Structure 1
Amino acid sequence: MKGADRTSGGAGNSSPPPLQPAAELRGSQTRASIDKAERLRDALTLSLLPGLGPRTQASLLEVFGDPGNVLQADESSLMSVPGVGPKLVHTIRTAAHHVDPQGVLDWCRQNDCQVLLRGSDAYPNLLNDLDDAPSVLFCRGTMLPCDEIAVAIVGTRHATAYGTRQAERMAFALASAGVTVVSGLARGIDAAAHQGALSAGGRTVAVLGGGLGQIYPAEHAPLADSIADQGAVVSEFAPQAKPRGGMFPQRNRLIAALSLATLVVEAPDRSGALITARLAGELNRDCLAIPGPISSRASRGTNQLIRDGATLVQSVDDVLETLGPMTRAVKTSDGHEIRNPAELSLNDIERSVLECIQPDSTAIDRVIGDSKLPAHQVMATISVLEMRRLIRRLSGQYVSRI
């Protein structure tokens, strides 16, 4: 019977399909590689077109779905997209005259630079919260999953000794706790933040306002090399794009988006750091500030942020407690999965108790049994975890993880 054939491995309907010939398999793999390379070139071409900003590019991709479809679209279809006029239509239709994607890829290969496509596993997940997230990100170094636990540290280029000291101190403490420090490689506060994270042996990400081949300021090229070895240097601009004034506000949105919170260390009342703080607020990310002397012009912006509702920060614990739970668990560089950055400051006993507590109601007796710790130690640890807002008491005998 046919049923017997299926269960006995006979020659009935259960027979496996014939193996795909090796030459055909190689052919399909080659086609897939070609398709991937074409998608990469199309994405590069579109993202590097002159006059096409990230917001209009996002609108085009929303309508056409794929960079290749945008480049092949007819004039009337392109004109139907908000923000697209005749001049931009002409640029898109003659894209090959404006962009050399293969030249860019060759430069990246020669300079150990990755091209991260939006939608790929390597693309930073936090950037997807931007309506105008770049479709292509150039990266020296490596972006890791643990970089989702990140805090931006920004401030004035004309930092005082006080500001430099506070930026380096806070970056060192955050990096030591396992938090990635994000900043913009500028003089002053940015450089101090990167250096503090590097000194701690932690991770740091620099977001540039120009191309990876045009490090600005030039004297920070060695710092950029160190960051690439211990984190990543990233940019949405073509590798040879020289930094211009309008690029830095555009860069700031990436700094805010790559971070769970933005910490402003020292900023006067007219500062790009305040733009980053505002963008962080628009993304529903926390805005933090270190206060400065009321007589210091360099701290007017930070003190005003605190007056307007930013969280006043004095220590790394203030930062970790503010960040709150994340939308999904993230694996740290040492292999732990955490749901809240405040977990980074836990000792071994506190972590072991927390891991025994579920998001649903968990009996304290079960926590005691699973942790194999003395009851009095578990009860004391539960009180600590509750104060740190990592768990909540549901009743006298039940707790749950936040």
Structure 2
Amino acid sequence: MNDIDLLNTLALMRVEGVGDIVAKKLINHLGSAQAVFAAKRSAILAIEGVGSILYNNLRNTNVFALAENEVKFIRANNIKPLFFMDAGYPERLKHCIDGPVVLFSSGNIDLANRKTISIVGTRQMTSYGADFCRKLIEDLQPLNPVIISGFAYGVDIFAHNVAMEQNLQTIGVVAHGLNQVYPKVHKKYVAAMEQNGGFFTEFWSTSNPDKENFVKRNRIVAGLSEATIII
């Protein structure tokens, strides 16, 4: 995305009453986020499910200052924004009605023609769970899948590490902005993961790892994958 498209798209996502589903509806009808902001009242109200309150919210120009700060962060930190209509946006996630309008990416992620498996589970993994997880990934290794998880304690970080041991690409879907690492003790794994894989998030740099964010990110973990294994 160029900076103008990115700025307008991020600004749209900050408009009160606009989430992923509504934003996609507006963009699909009018062509772009920039066109949404420029649209006349009649064009906005002609869209099913969109009313005058949302139209009035779209007049709030304060969202552009927030979006501009995020664009600066993205460009300064070599983060790749993936727009839901772009060719580079994960194909499986395009089929999720509530998939993120913009997905932020870091590292060296390549999902083209790749099998994707999510492995998630308990934060308190047993030895049996660890043995099962390791054998599963080792058995999958000849298929060269991408191993996706949530970079959390327990099963998540174990799956990431076994994937790296097997020279498999692995992706952590995190519940916060890419300006931080959570849990902090997992910072030591970031560089290795970004060499062959990396991180996805829908959250801005202003977002902390709040409880509700973990629930939201789970739909991305599942939506990216051909199968989800829970241990």
Distance in 2, matches of 1:115 and 1:59, equals 20
Distance in 2, matches of 1:164 and 1:80, equals 54
Alignment of 1:205-284 (within 5 A): 205-265=171-231
* Aligned twin of 2:33: 67
- Going from structure 1 to structure 2, the CA distance change for 1:99 and 1:254 (only over 3 Å counts) comes to farther
1:47 aligns with one of 7, 10, 13: 13
Contact 1:174 1:180 in 2 (8 A): no
* Residues paired across the two proteins, number: 231
Distance in 2, matches of 1:216 and 1:86, equals 40
Q: Deviations over 1:302-359 (max 9, x none)?
A: xxxxxxxxxxxxxxxxxxxxxxxxxxxxxxxxxxxxxxxxxxxxxxxxxxxxxxxxxx
Q: Deviations over 1:122-167 (max 9, x none)?
A: 2222211112232211100122144631111111222223223322
Contact 2:14 2:63 in 1 (8 A): no
Contact 1:56 1:82 in 2 (8 A): no
Q: Give the C-alpha shift of residue 251 in structure 1.
A: 1.1
Distance in 2, matches of 1:51 and 1:221, equals 35
Q: TM-score, normalised by structure 1?
A: 0.52
Residue 204, structure 1, aligned to residue 170, structure 2:
yes
Greater shift in the superposed pair: 81-90 or 159-168:
81-90
Distance in 1, matches of 2:86 and 2:94, equals 11
Counterpart residue type for residue 225 of structure 2:
S
- Structure 1 gaps of 5+ residues are 1-34, 266-402
Distance in 1, matches of 2:186 and 2:53, equals 38
Counterpart residue type for residue 75 of structure 2:
R
* Aligned twin of 1:398: none
Distance in 2, matches of 1:127 and 1:227, equals 21
Residue 166, structure 1, aligned to residue 136, structure 2:
no
Q: Give the C-alpha shift of residue 244 in structure 1.
A: 2.0
Q: Give the C-alpha shift of residue 81 in structure 1.
A: 4.6
- Going from structure 1 to structure 2, the CA distance change for 1:199 and 1:36 (only over 3 Å counts) comes to same
Contact 2:92 2:225 in 1 (8 A): yes
Residue 187, structure 1, aligned to residue 164, structure 2:
no
* Aligned twin of 1:311: none
Q: Deviations over 1:66-123 (max 9, x none)?
A: 1112222345544555665665444422143464333222212322211122232322
Contact 1:91 1:98 in 2 (8 A): no
Counterpart residue type for residue 253 of structure 1:
R
- Structure 2 gaps of 5+ residues are none
Q: TM-score, normalised by structure 2?
A: 0.86
* Aligned twin of 1:56: 22
Counterpart residue type for residue 57 of structure 1:
A
Contact 1:204 1:227 in 2 (8 A): yes
Contact 1:136 1:236 in 2 (8 A): yes
Q: Give the C-alpha shift of residue 48 in structure 1.
A: 4.2
* Aligned twin of 2:92: 126
Residue 178, structure 1, aligned to residue 144, structure 2:
yes
Q: Give the C-alpha shift of residue 50 in structure 1.
A: 5.3
Counterpart residue type for residue 208 of structure 1:
V
**1:123 is paired with a residue of what secondary structure?**
coil
Contact 1:126 1:148 in 2 (8 A): no
Counterpart residue type for residue 178 of structure 1:
N
Contact 2:105 2:198 in 1 (8 A): yes
Residue 106, structure 1, aligned to residue 39, structure 2:
no
Distance in 2, matches of 1:225 and 1:48, equals 31
- Going from structure 1 to structure 2, the CA distance change for 1:147 and 1:228 (only over 3 Å counts) comes to farther
Calculate the aligned-residue CA RMSD, in Å: 2.5
- Going from structure 1 to structure 2, the CA distance change for 1:201 and 1:49 (only over 3 Å counts) comes to farther
**1:246 is paired with a residue of what secondary structure?**
helix
Counterpart residue type for residue 85 of structure 2:
G
Alignment of 1:359-378 (within 5 A): none
Distance in 1, matches of 2:48 and 2:57, equals 16
Would you identify which runs of 4 or more consecutive aligned residues in structure 1 move more than 6 Å?
none
- Going from structure 1 to structure 2, the CA distance change for 1:67 and 1:167 (only over 3 Å counts) comes to same
Sequence identity percentage: 28
- Going from structure 1 to structure 2, the CA distance change for 1:58 and 1:191 (only over 3 Å counts) comes to same
Distance in 1, matches of 2:157 and 2:6, equals 33
Larger radius of gyration: 1
Distance in 1, matches of 2:169 and 2:109, equals 10
